[in-house]
Every structure is written in C-alpha cells, then in structure tokens.
Amino acid sequence: LAAYFCLDKPGIPIGPITVDAVDATSVTVSWEPPEKDGGANVSGYVVEQRDAHRPGWLPVSESVTRPTFKFTRLSEGTEYVFRVAATNRFGIGGFLQSEVVECKSLKTVPSAPNRPDVLDVTHEGMTITWQPPEEDGGSQVSGYIIERKEVRSERWMSIVKNPVTMTRYRSSGLSEGNEYEFRVIALNSRGSSKPSMASKPAIAMDPIGMHL
C-alpha cells in the first residue's frame, strides 16, 4: 500500500513570545518551534515588527535560523508588537504575535551628588569636594560638571571646559571679597543628573593671620 503524506507549510510557532531583554533601542525575544513541521524540516523563521499604534508590518528578517531574535534600531519610548513564522521548503507558516512591548532603557541618569564642601579658601581660589551620587542609574558615572555663582547673582556658570573625573576641584580666578557658591552635576551614558544642593557660601579671602 502506498503511504500518502500531506506535505505542507509548517505550523505556527509555539508561544508565547518571550521578551528576554529590553533596552532603549532594542528588544530580544524568543519562542518555541512549531509542533508540526509540515513534513519538511523547519529551515528558519521570518520575523516582523510594527508600531503598536499603527497598521502595517515591517519585515525585518527572513533568514533567522534559531528561535530567538534581537530587534534593533528601535525608537526609545515607542511601543512595538513583534511576530514570527516558521518556514520550510513549502512556504511560510502562520504567525505568532507578541504582546505590546515598550522600548525603554533600564538605565537612567545618576542621582544628584551630595552637597559639596568648600575647603582651603584664599583670596583668589577655593577647593570644592563632594561624594559620588548614591545612585549611578545603572551606568557608571563618567565625570562631573562644577558650576559656580556669586551669592548675589542668580546665574550659575560652568567652571570646567571638560567634565572632571575626580571628586575634588580647585576653583581659581576669584575676586577677593566676593561670596561664592558651588554645585556639582554627575554624568553617565544616559545624561546628566540634577544639580546638587549649593555649597555653603564662602568669601574669597585669605585666612586671618596668613600674612603675619
């Protein structure tokens, strides 16, 4: 007796689609191969994406060989839906669709550094020291911006051309007798923290008895 096999496209992959990793511009997903291969080995998968709030699927790849895929070049803050179908030599099977996934980074900007201290005050300079922020936002602090203003002014000005990596800085070129405040901003790969509290005001003057 002749045996007849129904050769066909593969079945739908087994869900659900699992979201394995999410970042600002990428999402990694995985799934299980279909139960029915249609009588021919599954040769790969087709993956597509779309904006969750717009119609129209965008084909991303037709040659995914393993049941996992990293979607890249996504827009941070956008919600996406992904779908996947298995392929064999008879064609493309049905699609398995994901839930809505928001593309967002788990990393944030650092918390504000603590209030800086002012040391070694003279008529033309003073040293500012501070502690690193308590929270780095999941991304290493890469440097600090130091800002200065005269107490009688409202305007803060950065006093460093490039971020400093140490937690102390000597501010020079002050005007003797003027009163100054300082604040510090921490930086990481996600951006800049809120400014620290302003330091206690300090007057640019030599310690009493320095010239004796």
What pLDDT, on the 0 to 100 scale, is given for residue 212? 44
Q: Which segments in the chain show pLDDT lower than 50?
A: 1-3, 212
**Global pTM exceeds 0.75:** no
CA distances from residue 131 to 63, 75, 167 in whole angstroms, order as listed: 51, 35, 7
How far apart (Å, rounded) are the C-alpha atoms in residues 2 and 42? 25
**Domains assigned to the chain:** 14-102 (2.60.40.10), 117-203 (2.60.40.10)
Tell me how long the chain is: 212
Q: Which two tokens stand for residue 180?
A: 């100054």
What pLDDT, on the 0 to 100 scale, is given for residue 152? 94
Would you report the helix, strand and coil content of the chain in percent, each value rounded to 5? 0, 45, 55
What pLDDT, on the 0 to 100 scale, is given for residue 133? 97
- Residue indicated by tokens 């509290």: 197
Q: Considering only the C-alpha atoms of the chain, give the largest distance between any 2 of them, rounded to a whole number of Å.
A: 118
Strands 125-129 and 44-51: unpaired
Q: Which two tokens stand for residue 38?
A: 């249609």
- DSSP 8-class letter at 164: B
What pLDDT, on the 0 to 100 scale, is given for residue 6? 72
